[in-house]
């Protein structure tokens, strides 16, 4: 029996859902390095833009991870085992998930979790058509907060989290470890984690992936300001901010910024923020890992490495981890 009932209310249409965005935006813009959390990229339009980014020639992570899934999905399914409830964090369009679900034996449920409710429900409905016997239980939520994972009602279901796309790279090291520990608590003894990590590589490959020649990433970055203007009544001058992606090798990451092109003041709710020319808003970290760094981080968070799969160029790794 297929099911795509949204487990939590449609936050995007709930006015009370705007309060965390307003509070976080005011707090972030009040810091010495002004910042906006990258989770606010993902309203419906932002999610659509990210899907476009994933198809760009310069953006290697999605196609590389997809190639790993195409080559190794049966092995991954064997490692994950039977009778699992697959919980996907930041499910988006669930493109890679189709390959994994097709390879799994007797999955008991699929629970996609995403902050963009409309985008997720469309994807879940499409998956329900492809896998009519699978129970699909979408959850509209921010997985960085306390996450209400629904009970499947099936005592055989063992929890496995799927966390693709190297989304873990959006978190600074301490926060990444904290999230990995929370996932271990979520799945419990016998649970597992299938996770993607973008590996460190030549800046000539990294930088174009976040500064494409068509400007889709720039539009994606500025969309967070459009969202603030629309949802919060902010008055960002969109023409006065420019997208910039920089490589920070000492921290093994790419950073995305919005650069103020002139001295200006921006009002957000009850607060006003002054910008100097050239001052930036940090909107995203994207950490790139060595295998040694990954091992230290996952060990510290309470995970044991089962198997890992890499592409031939060593651009990306997918790992199956179990609770230590």
Pairwise CA distance, residues 270 & 173, whole Å: 33
Residue spans of the chain under pLDDT 50: 1-16
Please, is 282 exposed, middle or buried when counting C-beta atoms within 10 Å of its C-beta (0-12, 13-18, 19+)?
middle
Residues ≥6 apart with Cβ < 8 Å to 155: none
With beta carbons less than 8 A apart as the criterion, state whether 160 and 80 touch: yes
With beta carbons less than 8 A apart as the criterion, state whether 320 and 307 touch: yes
Pairwise CA distance, residues 173 & 248, whole Å: 14
Q: Is 237 helix (H, G, I), strand (E, B) or coil?
A: coil
pLDDT tens digits, residue range 96-127? Answer: 899 999 999 999 999 999 887 887 888 888 89
Pairwise CA distance, residues 182 & 5, whole Å: 25
pLDDT tens digits, residue range 208-242? Answer: 999 999 999 999 999 999 999 999 999 999 999 99
Whole-structure pTM value? 0.89
């Amino acid at each position: 029996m297929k099911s795509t009932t949204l487990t939590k209310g449609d936050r995007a249409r709930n006015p009370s859902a705007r309060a965390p965005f307003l509070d976080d935006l005011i707090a972030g813009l009040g810091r010495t390095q002004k910042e906006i959390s990258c989770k606010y990229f993902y309203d419906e339009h932002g999610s659509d833009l990210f899907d476009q980014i994933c198809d760009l020639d310069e953006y290697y992570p999605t196609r590389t991870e997809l190639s790993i899934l195409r080559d190794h999905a049966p092995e991954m399914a064997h490692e994950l085992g039977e009778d699992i409830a697959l919980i996907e964090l930041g499910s988006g369009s669930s493109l890679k998930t189709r390959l994994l679900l097709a390879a799994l034996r007797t999955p008991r449920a699929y629970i996609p979790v995403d902050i963009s409710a409309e985008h997720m429900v469309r994807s879940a409905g499409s998956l329900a058509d492809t896998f009519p016997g699978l129970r699909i239980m979408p959850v509209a939520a921010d997985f960085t907060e306390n996450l209400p994972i629904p009970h499947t009602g099936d005592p055989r279901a063992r929890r496995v989290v799927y966390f693709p796309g190297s989304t873990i790279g959006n978190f600074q090291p301490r926060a990444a470890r904290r999230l990995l520990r929370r996932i271990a608590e979520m799945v419990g003894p016998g649970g597992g984690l299938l996770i993607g990590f973008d590996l460190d590589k030549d800046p000539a490959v990294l930088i174009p992936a976040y500064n494409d020649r068509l400007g889709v990433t720039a539009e994606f970055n500025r969309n967070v300001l459009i969202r603030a203007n629309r949802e919060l009544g902010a008055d960002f001058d969109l023409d006065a901010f420019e997208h910039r992606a920089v490589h920070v090798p000492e921290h093994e990451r790419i950073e995305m910024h919005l650069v103020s092109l002139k001295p200006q003041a921006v009002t957000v709710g009850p607060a006003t923020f002054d910008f100097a020319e050239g001052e930036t808003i940090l909107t995203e970290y994207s950490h790139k890992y060595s295998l040694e760094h990954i091992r230290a981080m996952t060990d510290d968070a309470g995970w044991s490495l089962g198997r890992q799969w890499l592409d031939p160029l060593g651009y990306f790794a997918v790992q199956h981890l179990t609770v230590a």
